[in-house]
Amino acid sequence: MRNQSISLVAQLWDAGVIPSYDYLGKGLIDSGEISKLVEEHKIGKFTSNQSIFLKDLSSGVYDSRIKKLLDKGKSAEEIYDILYQATVKEACGLLSEKHKQDPDNYFVSIETNPLNADDTQLVLKEARRLNEIAVNEDTKIAATPEGIDAIQQAVSEGLDINVTLIFPGLKITENDGEYEFSAPQFESVLKAVEEGYTQYFKNNPNASFKDIPRVVLSVFLSRVDTTAGAADEKLKQLEEKGEITKEEYLSLRGKTGMYAAKIIYQIWKNKMADSSVFNRLQKEDVALPRLLWASTQPKKDYIPDLQYVEPLQSPVGIQMINTITPKTFDDFKKNGIPKTGTIEDDLDKAINHVLRLQELKIDLIEIGDMLTENGIEKFADAYNDTIRRIKEIIQISS
């Protein structure tokens, strides 16, 4: 029975899910809304990126501060860096008391410069600098090949990391009646984190376990279904060619991201159980690298509003994060059903779904690689648009 006195979003905690808010704007801070979200709905994390910052920038909220920084001789790039970090730092401060009580939660994510995503050393240099913002900040590093190298080194240095732009690029094979799952990008990230922790322990043999780096693994879901060139478009092309029926097309579309997440969870669970490093964390009651479901707002009307939230709730004893947009937040607040362990439901359906896609020559690994590349491009475009907008404001102010 639902507890009507407690927000449905807040009740996600009882289902092992930490709700994260996929927006951090200056207006959210200045209005006091961020504190309301934390107190009334137990939002345990906020995320920021270049696209979100650009929305704030376009609203004019930073115009006067840009003028002051310009008077101090700052460039557009420096102004961006100062304002973006200041907003994150302010939010971290508002969450600091909650974070002291629960050090695994109540933190803010900040994005590294996407223009550097393919340069391990530049990413590392920035991650070191951004980790100084606050104790409850973590730094997003994209899961490109170069980014994965940076992740391993960052963890070994004790930096708090949010691995972003992981996609559930999967393949299922059958061996002696047993199904084996592989997800090359995700498994490479897990290996990098594992080796990073191994090196961290070597570097800090007397370190307190409460001080080890926090790691979050952000897996993007809705884009696997509805981005151009992804699963639903490929299914539609097959239906148009007559290679599958309209009935089968309708039964398969819009479900790949959700089902793939269930299999990614199985890969994560197996790795946590098999790794001596992760077993050591569990033994010391330290938070394991946590799965975070991102891109959880459906982008097509035929996908249920809570498709990437309700079916992906944690089993007892495991804590995950779900980053929900303001719209998905409102949808769950009105109609959500918190229920422990739904991520372990329908695994057979998830396996059959992916196997059918493989039969149809729809390659989820190839789609995942494409989406990672597209994600970097979108973040880079947002960064470039942000710098362009700051220059426009500077020109108007001059």
Q: What is the pLDDT of residue 4?
A: 57
**What is the distance between the alpha carbons of residues 267 and 37, in angstroms, rounded to a whole number?**
32
Q: Exposed e or buried b for every residue in 178-195, given b needs 16+ CB within 10 A?
A: eeebebebbebbbebbbb
Counted residue by residue, the chain has a size of 398
16-27 tens-digit pLDDT? 999 999 999 888
Could you tell me which residue, 52 or 330, shows the higher pLDDT? 330
354-398 tens-digit pLDDT? 999 999 999 999 999 999 999 999 999 999 999 999 999 888 876
Structure tokens at 363: 């390659």
Q: What is the pLDDT of residue 398?
A: 64
Q: Report the pLDDT averaged over residues 221-236.
A: 98
Q: What is the pLDDT of residue 55?
A: 87
Residue 211 · residue 284 · CB < 8 Å: no
> What domains can you pick out in the chain, each with its CATH number?
10-397 (3.20.20.70)
- Sorted by sequence, the CB contacts under 8 Å of residue 392 that are 6+ apart come out as none
Q: If you search the block for the tokens 């001080």, which residue do you land on?
A: 211
- Residue 337 is classified by DSSP as -
Q: What is the pLDDT of residue 287?
A: 85
**What is the distance between the alpha carbons of residues 292 and 102, in angstroms, rounded to a whole number?**
18
Cα angle vertex 189, ends 188, 194, to 5°? 100
74-132 tens-digit pLDDT? 999 999 999 999 999 999 999 999 999 999 899 999 999 999 999 999 999 999 999 99
150-154: long-range contacts, CB 8 A cutoff, minimum separation 24: 150/120, 150/121, 150/123, 150/124, 151/189, 151/192, 151/193, 151/196, 152/192, 152/193, 152/195, 152/196, 152/199, 153/120, 153/124, 153/196, 154/124, 154/127, 154/128, 154/196, 154/213
Q: Report the pLDDT averaged over residues 290-314.
A: 97
**What is the distance between the alpha carbons of residues 58 and 27, in angstroms, rounded to a whole number?**
12
